[in-house]
Amino acid sequence: MLHAMQPSARGEAACRALLLTKELRTQIYTPGDDEWEKRKGHLFADLDVFITGEPIDPNYMFLLQPVKFGVWEIRSRHPRPGLRVLGLFATKDVFVAINLAVRKTLGGRTSPEWAAAVLGAKAAWQQIFPGNAPLISAEVNDVVSGAIDGQYFQPES
Amino acid sequence: MANISSRKARPRELAFQRQRLKNRVYAVLAKFFAEEAKAGRTTKKDIADFLGRDPAQITRWLNAPSNMTLETISDLLLAMDAEPGGMTIERFADKPKPNYAHPLVAGLLEMSTGAKQPNPATSSVSRFEVSRTATMRLSASDSMAWEMGAN
């Protein structure tokens, strides 16, 4: 089951589709203590950037390595702890959000934890959509409208 | 006034609205900078030189909404020979109705509610298909749900 997330902002429409897996939905909608509720307020505002069609830039959305997997992150950097929402595009402007990770637990970009998170997102996609590939492109305008020019992935060295 | 006088703001609501404001201001500024840079009218180095700052500081400012204060925004805009225009404030109740929604979400909304307004309760709809291919369904269980927002 996937859940389409409506904008949290009052009076706004979903100009892009953000779909949550059941697990992710449970994770972010389950009430917590005041600190977590505050952090979720920031996270929901950051997710609203995508949903309400605000301009996207590489500080907000980034294509993870390996590029051929098509796994992107949405960054919710402040306040600490920074959070990352990992997912893949079903089609242009339709993002299927799969994992939520605390940035500091992922370590450096080449860490096993990052690799596991990316692989986990890819595996979850295959489970949800068996036989259907995500939309994979390193050209940001292929996957999302309203993107600001920039470098959206780190070329492999 | 009547809407807020009878209740107390929740922590998540306050945090959400603060971050939303930062994000919206940042989006406008980042977009303007990108356009100016693309047109060859400015660089981070130009801004750093004008403000007497380290270029790395300009990068930090332009990298995340939370790094910006009102003073920072003013300085960055001045360095780009610009200022905000057309600033307005509107009550939530007076906001114009959005004239566009993503077709997938709009379709889900209509299918789940049978009306134009979202239902606060989650409601399932069946067999929603994505436009990329005629056959690609967005759920292995053939069902999706419309979820009301977070606040």
For the stretch A34-61, pLDDT in tens is 999 999 999 999 999 999 999 999 999 9
Domain hosting residue B22, numbered range: 9-79
% residues pLDDT > 90 (chain B): 54
Of B31, B101, B145, the CB nearest to A14: B101
In a domain, B92, yes or no: no
Task: With cut-offs at 50, 70 and 90, classify the pLDDT of residue B114.
Answer: low
The pLDDT of residue B49 is 98
What are the two backbone dihedrals, phi and then psi, of residue A151, each rounded to the nearest 5 degrees?
-95, 110
Q: What is the DSSP letter of A56?
A: B
Domain count, chain B: 2
- Interface with B, mutate which of A24, A28, A39, A49 (most B CBs under 10 A): A49
Task: With cut-offs at 50, 70 and 90, classify the pLDDT of residue A111.
Answer: very high
Instruction: Kindly write down the DSSP assignment for every residue of B52-103, as one continuous string.
Output: T--HHHHHHHHH-GGG--HHHHHHHHHHTT----S-----GGGPPPPS---H
Q: Are residues B14 and B75 in the same domain?
A: yes
- In chain B, residues with a C-beta closer than 8 Å to the C-beta of A62 are none
Under an 8 A CB cutoff, do B14 and A38 touch? yes
The last residue of a domain, from among B31, B49, B79: B79
For the stretch B41-54, pLDDT in tens is 999 999 999 999 99
A·B CB contacts under 8 A: 165
Nearest to A15 by CA among A44, A49, A51: A51
In a domain, A47, yes or no: yes
A10 near B CB under 8 A: yes
In a domain, B91, yes or no: no
B145 compared with A117, residue with greater pLDDT: A117
Q: Which residue of A has its CA nearest to B145?
A: A3
CA-based nearest distance B92→chain A, Å: 7
C-alpha dihedral, B33 to B36 to B37 to B38, nearest 10°: 120
C-alpha to C-alpha distance for B151 and B145, rounded to whole angstroms: 18
What is the rounded average pLDDT of the residues B136-147? Answer: 42
Under an 8 A CB cutoff, do B150 and A29 touch? yes
Under an 8 A CB cutoff, do B98 and A13 touch? yes
For the stretch B11-40, pLDDT in tens is 999 999 999 999 999 999 999 999 999 999
Q: Are residues B72 and B105 in the same domain?
A: no
CA-based nearest distance B131→chain A, Å: 8
The pLDDT of residue A123 is 97
In a domain, B94, yes or no: no
In a domain, A39, yes or no: yes
Under an 8 A CB cutoff, do B149 and A49 touch? no
B121 near A CB under 8 A: no
Q: Which element (helix H / strand E) includes A83? A: strand A83-91
* Token couple for B131: 């436009």
The CATH number for A119's domain is 3.30.2310.20
Residue B126 pLDDT > 50: no
Task: With cut-offs at 50, 70 and 90, classify the pLDDT of residue A139.
Answer: very high
Q: Are residues B66 and B107 in the same domain?
A: no
A38 near B CB under 8 A: yes
Under an 8 A CB cutoff, do A37 and B14 touch? no
Q: Are residues B25 and B69 in the same domain?
A: yes
- In chain A, residues with a C-beta closer than 8 Å to the C-beta of B24 are 54
Under an 8 A CB cutoff, do A45 and B19 touch? yes
Domain hosting residue A57, numbered range: 2-143
In a domain, A154, yes or no: no
Q: Is the pTM of this model over 0.90?
A: no
What is the rounded average pLDDT of the residues A21-33? Answer: 93
In a domain, B126, yes or no: yes
Domain count, chain A: 1
The pLDDT of residue B147 is 41
Under an 8 A CB cutoff, do A94 and B31 touch? no
Give strand pairing partners of A94.
A17, A91
CA-based nearest distance B128→chain A, Å: 11
In a domain, A73, yes or no: yes
- In chain B, residues with a C-beta closer than 8 Å to the C-beta of A28 are 150
Task: With cut-offs at 50, 70 and 90, classify the pLDDT of residue B113.
Answer: low
In a domain, B39, yes or no: yes
In a domain, B45, yes or no: yes
